Amino acid sequence: MITTVTLNAAVDVTYTVDRFRSGGSHRLPAAHRRAGGKGINVSRVLAAAGHDTTVTGLVGGPSGDAVRLELAAAGLRDSLVTIAGTTRQTVTVVEQAAGDATVLLEPGPEVTAAEWREFRTHYRHLLTTSRVMVLSGSLPAGLPDETYAELVLLARRHDVPVVLDCCGPSLLAAVPAGPALVKPNALELAETLGGSADVRAGAEELRAAGARSVVVSLGAEGLLAVTLVGAWSARPPERLSGNPTGAGDAAVAALSAGLARNTPWPERLRQAVALSAAAVKAPLAGDFDAPAYRSLLSGTTVTPDG
Ligand SMILES: Nc1ncnc2c1ncn2[C@@H]1O[C@H](COP(=O)(O)OP(=O)(O)OP(=O)(O)O)[C@@H](O)[C@H]1O
Ligand SMILES: [Mg+2]
């Protein structure tokens, strides 16, 4: 079982307009709503790729109910904990003429100390049946930067490896706790370390600080991995056009599955690049294009890095 944790779940609302006029009003043919949050996207990809997965995290209010209904409709195992606050919405305005998008992110609900204690008890229980724990995304209000550090330590006590996808202070605080893998993208890595050091040097720095392996995602350039047994770079055959939002979540899904199965690193990275590139070819975050995945697997190159 690969369990994903989404502490700041969301209902993702997407509006598509031809041209966005700041200060104007826009009539929309339709609005698209979907349960979101990075861990939920990771579980969607895992389930679609045939892996056993459970979703946990915090949800509340009518939008929290909407997340749960949708997970049930998608056939995803829901082990979320209910809180009093209301799950946030995110709004993405896709502008077709310009081919880009504007994203508005609410901070998320306030989580009380009692709710956090309840979650922690639930999390400990889930550790007894999890092969890998995936912690993804931002923290809601009321939870300190040390939150992921605490969850990594609890997992280690149960000998469950953690894959961590977050950035900034919560990543820096969690690295000394010894996550099995962290996956920042290049920008997140630079911002977290507060410098413009090159990617390899930044990855080495996080490893020296306690992460057992560091995989940095580089958009269309693929992945750079620094591990105990070597460093590799893995590249897709070409830059693909499509929707790159959620490609990182697909990479995390493949890396988590590879960890659960102890797949050798080069093959694990090949699968992560092919699956994440195939996610670019799917319009919605959390989905991937299965035929594209199969052809991308053979076109992806993995080479030792130094
Ligand atoms: N344009 C692209 N063409 C081919 N592959 C891509 C492209 N964009 C992303 N990928 C694949 O997806 C992986 C993750 O992408 P990226 O580095 O953008 O992640 P991210 O910023 O964490 O994304 P998110 O957090 O939105 O899911 C890359 O390592 C690469 O394998
Ligand atoms: Mg990401």
pLDDT of residue 45: 97
- Cα(249) to centroid of ligand 2, in Å? 6
The domain ranges of the chain are: 2-10+37-87+109-304
User: What is the residue with the minimal CA distance to atom 18 of ligand 1?
Assistant: 219
Q: Which ligand is nearest to the CA of 185?
A: 1
Positions marked active-site: 249
Torsion of CA 22, 27, 28, 34, to 10 degrees: 60
User: What percentage of the chain carries pLDDT values higher than 90?
Assistant: 85
Residues having CB closer than 6 A to ligand 1 are: 185, 217-220, 222-223, 236, 239-240, 244-249, 251, 273, 276-277, 280
Find all residues with CB under 8 Å of 183, minimum gap 6, and list them. Answer: 163, 164, 165, 214, 215, 216, 217, 248, 251, 252, 255
Find all residues with CB under 8 Å of 194, minimum gap 6, and list them. Answer: none
Q: How far apart are alpha carbons 79 and 112 in whole angstroms?
A: 19
Do residues 170 and 164 touch, judged by C-beta distance below 8 A? no
User: What percentage of the chain carries pLDDT values higher than 70?
Assistant: 100
pLDDT of residue 196 exceeding 80, the answer is: no
Do residues 3 and 132 touch, judged by C-beta distance below 8 A? yes
Q: How far apart are alpha carbons 236 and 217 in whole angstroms?
A: 12
Closest-lying ligand 1 atom to the alpha carbon of residue 223: 29
For 19-72, how does the pLDDT look when each residue is reduced to its tens digit (9 = 90+)? 988 899 999 988 889 999 999 999 999 999 999 999 999 999 999 999 999 999
Q: Which of 166, 188, 280 to mutate to test the pocket of ligand 1 (most atoms within 8 A of CB)?
A: 280
For 86-107, how does the pLDDT look when each residue is reduced to its tens digit (9 = 90+)? 999 999 888 888 777 888 999 8
- Cα(9) to centroid of ligand 1, in Å? 21
Q: For residue 14, what are its two tokens?
A: 């997407």
Sorting pLDDT into bands at 50, 70 and 90, what band is 244? confident
Q: Which ligand is nearest to the CA of 279?
A: 1
Higher-confidence residue of 237 and 96: namely 237
Q: Which ligand is nearest to the CA of 288?
A: 1
pLDDT of residue 142: 85
Q: For residue 216, what are the β-bridge partners?
A: 224
Across 109-118, average pLDDT: 96
Q: How far apart are alpha carbons 295 and 204 in whole angstroms?
A: 32
Across 170-196, average pLDDT: 95
Q: Which CATH number fits domain 2-10+37-87+109-304: 3.10.580.10, 3.40.1190.20, 3.40.640.10, 3.40.50.300?
A: 3.40.1190.20
**Average predicted confidence (pLDDT) for the chain:** 95
pLDDT of residue 146 exceeding 80, the answer is: yes
pLDDT of residue 191: 95
- pTM for the whole structure: 0.95
Q: How far apart are alpha carbons 173 and 145 in whole angstroms?
A: 7
- Cα(285) to centroid of ligand 2, in Å? 11
User: What is the residue with the minimal CA distance to atom 2 of ligand 1?
Assistant: 220
- Cα(23) to centroid of ligand 2, in Å? 31
pLDDT of residue 243: 80
Sorting pLDDT into bands at 50, 70 and 90, what band is 197? confident
- Cα(185) to centroid of ligand 1, in Å? 8
Sorting pLDDT into bands at 50, 70 and 90, what band is 207? very high
Q: For residue 58, what are the β-bridge partners?
A: 81
Closest-lying ligand 1 atom to the alpha carbon of residue 248: 27
Across 198-208, average pLDDT: 96
For 269-287, how does the pLDDT look when each residue is reduced to its tens digit (9 = 90+)? 999 999 999 999 987 878 8
User: What is the residue with the minimal CA distance to atom 22 of ligand 1?
Assistant: 248
